[in-house]
Structure 1
Amino acid sequence: MEFEFIRPHLLWLLIPWVVYSALQWSKKSNQKSAQLIAPHLMKVVMGADGQKHQKQSNSWLGIVFFLLAIIAVAGPSIEKQEVPVFKTQAPRVLVLDMSYSMYSTDLAPNRLTQARFKTLDMLKQFKEGETGLVAYAGDAFTVSPLTTDVTTLENLIPSLRPEIMPSKGSNVYAGIEEAVSLLTGASATYGDIILVTDGLEQEDAEDVQKLLSDSPFKLSIYALGTAQGAPIKLPEGGFLKDQYGQIVVPKLFPTRLEKLARVKGGKFASYTADSSDIETFKPNLGANTSVLKRDQESAKWRVDAGIYLLIVLIPLALLLVRNHAVMLSALVVFAMLPQQKALANEWTQWFKNSDQNALQAYQNEAFDEAALADNPVLKGAALYKAGDYEGAVKTLEQTSSVEGQYNLGNALARLGKLDDAISAYEKALSLDPDFTQAKDNKALVEALKDQQEQQNQQDQQGQQDQQSQQDQQGQQDQQGQQDQQGQQDQQGQQDQQGQQDQQGQQDQQGQQDQQGQQDQQGQQNQQGQQDQQSQQDQQSQQDQQNSQAGSESEQNNNEPELDAARQDQQAADEQTQEQKQQQAQAASTPDPEQSPQDEEKAQAAMMQDSRPLTPEEIEKAQQLNQLLRKVPDDPAILLRNKMQLEAQQRKQRRLPRGAEKSW
Structure 2
Amino acid sequence: MTEFIFIRPALLWLLLPWLLLTGIQWIKRHRSNDGQLIAPHLAQFVLEDGPRKQGSSTPWLVSLLLLLSILAAAGPSFEKHTVPVFKSKQARVLVMDMSYSMYATDIQPNRLTQARFKTLDMIGQFTEGDTALVAYAGDAFVVSPLTDDIKTLENLVPSLSPEIMPSKGANVLAGLDQAKILLDQAGYADGEIILISDEVEQDELADISDLFNGTNYTLHVYGIGTLEGAPIGLPEGGFLKDRYGQIVVPKLDPERLSALASRQGGRYATYTHSDSDIKTFAPNKVTDLDSNEQPGEALWHLDAGKYLLFIIVPLALWLMRSQPLTLAILVVALIQPQVGYSADWSNWFKNQDQQALESYQQGDFEQAQSAQDPVLKGTALYKAGEYAQAAEQLKHATSAIGQYNYGNALAKSGQLDEAIAAYEQALQLDPDFTQAQDNKQLVEDLKAQQQESQQQNGDQSDNQEQSGDQQDQQQDGEQQQDGQQQGNDQQSDQQQESGQQQQGGEQQESNQQGEQQNGEQSDSDAQEQQSSDSDRAGQSDNDNAPELAQSAAQNEQQEQAEQSAQSAQQAQQQAADGEEQSERAQQLMQSRPLTPQEKEKAQQLDQLLRKVPDDPAILLRNKMLLESQQRVRQRHPRGVEKSW
TM-score (norm. length: structure 2):
0.40
Larger radius of gyration: 1
TM-score (norm. length: structure 1):
0.39
